[in-house]
Amino acid sequence: MPDHVLELKNLTMQFGGVVAVNDLSMNIDKGEIVALIGPNGAGKTTAFNCVTGVYAPTNGQVLFGGKVIVSNHPSGKMAKMYLGADKDKFHQVAAPSPDKITRMGIARTFQNIRLFKTQTVFDNVLIATHLHRTSNLFTAVLRLNSSEEKSMREKAMHLLDIVGLADAKDEKATSLPYGKQRRLEIARALATDPTLLLLDEPAAGMNPQETDDLSEFIVELRNRFDLTIFLIEHHMALVMDISDRIYVIDFGKLIASGLPQEVRDDPEVITAYLGVDED
């Protein structure tokens, strides 16, 4: 059996006495679109942040393509305070910074859009091609890297074309409407050449029409770039529409997982999250 693209093992994140993510284990296979859902404050974004290196988890491991990229166990003061399980399961410690994780092939977007505010739409995407540079400081300053610079620009333009922002390339990023800013964030993430794309509430603030477009767009991206997509979303219609599988967490704990239909009918999910049976 081939390795999972992403695998979380007993991931726990504890802030002081609060366990934000509690013993979360899950996996995503190549080409899948998997959604992580749960009520507000359930710990979804915290789980994302553990995967992308923003936080080092208190306990547990993250495996990417079968290789351990993040691993930790409670130590020091946390060893006494630790409230979760599997305290002594992982001995390895690995906590790479977010830029290293991005270089491995995991790109993300942010729940509260984080574009480079003073830059143009084009430059926002162009910046994300920086990590694969082969030029050093001197060749870049003396313009000895013009062919690389050209290919960077072509790639950025190509991605803007795909997300439909080519016409707005010279506008300031923050002057775009909300929906387009989200698309720009996706284009920027794609410019880092990811194999796994993490989308944090991509439909937040979008109207129904924009949301519909987004569903199609995400599926198209997956097919076109041969991506695996892991998303957090509140918008049930979108989640049910495009997800291959769904994980549901509440208070940091996994309460259900499976195909969209199974999750939708799970009584525990209904009580914890959906409340009513239809969106």
Partner 1 sequence: MKALKWTGGILLIIIAVALLVSSISAQSDLEGLLKRLDAQNVVDLNPKMLADRDRVLESHLDNDRDRTLRNLDRYLERHGDLLLLEGTHALELTAFRSGPIVSSVGVLLMAIGAALLATVISGKAAVRKAALYAVGIVLLYVCVYVVEQIAGTSSMLVTVLKKGAIYALLAVSMNLLNGFTGLFSLGQAGFMLIGAYTYAMFTIPVESRGQVYQYYAGGLIQFQMPVILAIILAGLVAAFFAYLIGLPVLRLKSDYLAIATLGFAEIIRAVFQYDGLGPITNGSNLLRRFTTFNSALFPFIAVGICILLIILLINSTYGRAFKAIRDDEVAAEAMGINLPQHKSMAFVISCFFAGVGGALLAMYQTTVQASAFKASMTYEILLIVVLGGMGSVSGSVIASFLFIAASEWWLRFLDAETVIGTFEVPLLRSGFRMVVFSVIVMLVVLFYQKGIMGDRELSLDMFKRNGKEKRGGRNA
Question: Site residues (CB under 8 A) for partner 1?
Answer: 52, 54, 97-100, 102-103, 107-108, 110, 114-119, 123, 126-133, 135, 137, 140-143, 145, 149, 152, 172, 174-175, 188-189, 191-192
Supply the minimum distance, in Å, between the C-beta of residue 204 and partner 1: 17
Comparing CB distances to partner 1, the nearer of 123 and 212 is: 123
Q: Which 3-state string (H, E, C) describes the chain?
A: CCCCCEEEEEEEEEECCEEEEEEEEEEECCCCEEEEECCCCCCHHHHHHHHCCCCCCCEEEEEECCEEEEEECCCCHHHHHCCCCCCCCCCCCECCCHHHHHHHCEEECCCCCCCCCCCEHHHHHHHCCHHHCCCCHHHHHCCCCHHHHHHHHHHHHHHHHHHCCHHHCCCEHHHCCHHHHHHHHHHHHHCCCCCEEEEECCCCCCCHHHHHHHHHHHHHHHHHHCCEEEEECCCHHHHHHHCCEEEEEECCEEEEEECHHHHHHCHHHHHHHHCCCCC
Supply the minimum distance, in Å, between the C-beta of residue 77 and partner 1: 21
Comparing CB distances to partner 1, the nearer of 92 and 175 is: 175
Supply the minimum distance, in Å, between the C-beta of residue 9 and partner 1: 23
Comparing CB distances to partner 1, the nearer of 83 and 127 is: 127
Comparing CB distances to partner 1, the nearer of 98 and 258 is: 98
Supply the minimum distance, in Å, between the C-beta of residue 19 and partner 1: 24
